[in-house]
Amino acid sequence: MWWIPLRSLVRNRRRTALSIAIVALGTAISFFVYGFLEDSRLQIQASTVSEYGNLQIASPDLWEDTADGYEYLIEPETEAQVRTLLASHDGLTGITEQLQFPGLVAAGNETQVVRITAQVPENGTLTSDGFVIDGRPLQSTDVAAVLMGRSLAARLDVGVGDIVTLTLTTVDGAYNASPLQIVGIYGFSSEQVELRTLFMPLTFAQLLLNTAGVDRLIVNLSSIAATDREVVSIQQQLDQAGLALEARPWYDLSPIYQQLSGYFDILFGFLTLAVFILVFFIILQVLTLAFLERTREIGTIRALGTTQGEVFRQLIAESGWLAVLGSLTGILVGGLLGAGFNAIGIKWRPPGTVEASLLSVQITALTMLPPFLVGVAATLLSAVFPSIQTSRLRVVDALRVE
């Protein structure tokens, strides 16, 4: 009897088309916005992983900021132990060390508080090489060299080849200072990063700080999706080896990612709710009227022996067809809109950033599914009340309706 509800839909083409259009509109809007938010989320994910690696291993004191001075540093023997443990993991594509510390950089009369990220040049795992927009990346032969953000270079009015002075405190608490030559200028999406972060070779930074240690090991994996699994596995190995170190995934290292991701979830939640309410109430009205017009027909099939439950199922099946057809149409329309939007290639520079990023809509099965389910659920739920009401009509009353 599955075809009877479908026939009922075909009977009143105008009303069916209107219902499908309403469901489709809600689903299309939902799909477009969700696809856009997911694309933004993926871009931020990729950017965050390129900035932090898939996971980092460091002392809990570093993560919690509870260390006295540089107590959190990982000494070379410990680092060697960790590297041995990590060698057994297949999904790892690279490991490198990093040492971050605060300092003051000065050029002429301008001084700026900065955070230095000391890294192994040409390590192949996590470098700032890809961000260089002027000059060159750091090289393994560099000593007193620095890579400076374009916003800081502009503020200090310096460029490639110029010398700046870095002042810092060593791990023993003594003051130290050194001239550094700017070998390259990098650009980043965040102006704050460009202003606050300098990159320099790890060995020279260790020399300036008077230490052989590093503050973290950065691990890259073959896929972002493997992060959680590897974090758990590595942590178990660290614990078994008795090392007081903690592995943290990339999303825990970036508060901005967490905030933005949460914001996207809230945004999509509100949109979903709005679409749900819109579709729910309009379809409720349409179906109530449609079922009302068929009161006599419902009375007839009840008189012929159709049970209330069978009538209810027929009406719900009819709404099910509407829900599926409307949601599929919505996904198709939303997908076409998204493809058109992607083809235009609109760029936008978010506040606090220095580079415009390409706005696009993710069109994948994963971004189609939630809006599709929202469309189907809203339509089916809106059908429940009128279907119950209609199926419970007294047969004799329904037959009297002209």
Distance CA 394, CA 145 (A): 88
Residue 7 or 347 having the CB closest to other proteins:
7
Of 335, 354, 336, 351, whose CA–CA distance to 187 is shortest? 354
Kindly list the distances between the CA atom of residue 75 and the CA atoms of 191, 215, 237, 239, in Å, as whole numbers in the listed order: 33, 9, 18, 17
CB of 330 to other proteins, least distance (A): 26
DSSP output for 241-297 = TT---EEEEHHHH-HHHHHHHHHHHHHHHHHHHHHHHHHHHHHHHHHHHHHHHTHHH
> Tokens representing 176?
């130290």
CB of 392 to other proteins, least distance (A): 9
CB of 4 to other proteins, least distance (A): 7
Distance CA 395, CA 165 (A): 92
Residue 42 or 301 having the CB closest to other proteins:
301
CB of 362 to other proteins, least distance (A): 41
CB of 303 to other proteins, least distance (A): 5
Per 3-state DSSP, what percentage of the chain is helix, strand, and coil (rounded to 5)? Answer: 55, 20, 25
CB of 396 to other proteins, least distance (A): 4
Residue 85 or 401 having the CB closest to other proteins:
401
Distance CA 378, CA 24 (A): 12
Phi, psi of 307, deg, nearest 5: -80, 165
Distance CA 117, CA 105 (A): 13
Footprint of other proteins (CB under 8 A): 1, 4, 7-8, 10-11, 296-297, 299-310, 394-396, 399
Residue 156 or 383 having the CB closest to other proteins:
383
Distance CA 350, CA 125 (A): 28
Residue 255 or 309 having the CB closest to other proteins:
309
CB of 19 to other proteins, least distance (A): 16
Residue 373 or 399 having the CB closest to other proteins:
399
> Tokens representing 366?
């994963």
Identify whether the C-beta of residue 251 lies closer than 8 Å to the C-beta of residue 46: no
Residue 143 or 396 having the CB closest to other proteins:
396
How many CA within 13 A on the CB side of residue 348?
7
CB of 20 to other proteins, least distance (A): 18
Residue 10 or 17 having the CB closest to other proteins:
10
